[in-house]
Amino acid sequence: MLYRRFPRIPDKEISVLGFGMMRLPLKKNSDEPDYDLTKQMVKTAFDNGINYFDTAYPYHGGKSEVVLGAALKELGIREKVYVADKMPLWEVKKQEDLYRIFDEQLKRLQTDYIDFYLLHAIGAERWQQIKDLQVLSFLKQLKSSGKIKHIGFSFHDSPDAFKTIIDGFPLWEFCQVQYNYMDKEAADLIAYAAKNEIGTIVMEPLRGGLLAQPPKPILDIFAAASKPRMPAEWGLRWVWENQNVVVALSGMSVSEQMIMNIATACAGHPNSLPNAQLDTVKKASEWFNSRVKVPCTGCNYCSPCPKKIAISDIFREWNRLSLNGCLESTDHVKSTAYYDILKSDRGADQCVECRLCEGYCPQKIQIPDLLKVAHAAMQ
């Protein structure tokens, strides 16, 4: 395993691969995380050098924090790893909510401190909320008391908003942004953070798994490269090329993914890919961006929908059809998967345009509008 350091936290070595705990293995026919499988994956991660574990208050309906805390305690490794957790500001209506939620997180995690604490998915609108509720004073108080060790934020908004947030608080030590070879715009954000001596954590380095299991045209592009690599390896190595990226989070749900990503991490040096290989990734990026219909990563922040619409499933199927050239078909039924969603009354035809989902979407997707387009395309 390779390790990097945050500029403002030079005493800590962080594994370049972090275990993102948003897509844990599930119990059979259930949305509940499988604790035994998760514990085994935590052990595998730790035994192979991963020391950064990232969770959040809403992941798996609050169960991600619970299973992580239990696994670290049972394995006896809490003091040997770094736990990252996040304050869900959309749940905060008054300052008392900050203390209530944080105390609940400590209980879920079975710990009395959190190593890396983030304000979750902030942008211009929530920045104003942060100032109104004196959230930054709350963070400083937690750090001075030792309940959190380092302060950061995860971000989804415009470059101008990012700069405002970076410049607006001198105690930021790290930030977290979405960055992969399809979402390259964040390179400017990472550079601005580095200019201010703030290290970056990358989320969605494989675009919710899309880059790890690409369609055949992408496989053909990679097969033509001089260096054979699995698709996930190409994606992760591209992210680690950036020397200002400290850790890339992978939401691994099976041990095989973890083992492969750990092997890749052992070669994830910055500035290590020759130009010919970077050109290969560029070709893959151009192909993907020409075919993807909607930038949904399947994070499910938009759920549950009041009408029980399977938003991420619908967008995933729409993208799959487009990536595989199926939308050009003249057949009347283009997607049996979407037909099954419609039969279960979870289709886009159920949307009443309440737009609650848009307020939660980190990608700022105009969900009701694109659901209409997807519905028309898949019928």
Predicted confidence (pLDDT) per residue in 156-190, tens digit: 899 999 999 999 999 999 999 999 999 999 999 99
- pLDDT score at 329: 63
What residues does 178 pair with on adjacent strands? 203
Predicted confidence (pLDDT) per residue in 91-108, tens digit: 999 999 999 999 999 999
State the Cα–Cα distance between residues 131 and 160, nearest whole angstrom.
17
Task: Report how far Cα 125 is from the mean position of its chain's Cα atoms.
Answer: 21
The set of residues, in sequence order, having a beta carbon less than 8 Å from that of 239 and lying 6+ positions away, is 179, 180, 181, 202, 205, 245, 248
For the chain, the domains span: 3-291, 311-377
The token duo for 302 is: 């938009």
Q: Assign 378 a pLDDT band (cuts: 50, 70, 90).
A: confident
Residue 205: is its pLDDT beyond 80? Answer: yes
Q: CA dist 286 to 147, 221, 274, 292, Å? A: 45, 11, 19, 10
Q: Are 21 and 54 in contact (CB under 8 A)?
A: yes
- pLDDT score at 290: 92
Q: List the catalytic residue out of 59, 179, 181, 338.
A: 59
Q: Assign 330 a pLDDT band (cuts: 50, 70, 90).
A: low
Q: Out of 148-152, 179-183, 256-260, 338-342, which region has the weakest mean confidence (pLDDT)?
A: 338-342
The token duo for 10 is: 């030079």
Residue 59 annotated among the catalytic residues of the structure: yes
CATH class of 3-291: alpha beta
With a pLDDT cut of 90, the percent of the chain lying above it is 84
Predicted confidence (pLDDT) per residue in 227-265, tens digit: 999 999 999 999 999 999 999 999 999 999 999 999 999
- pLDDT score at 333: 52
Is the omega angle on the peptide bond into residue 304 within 30 degrees of 0, that is, cis?
Answer: yes
| CB atoms inside a 10 Å sphere around CB 183 | 19
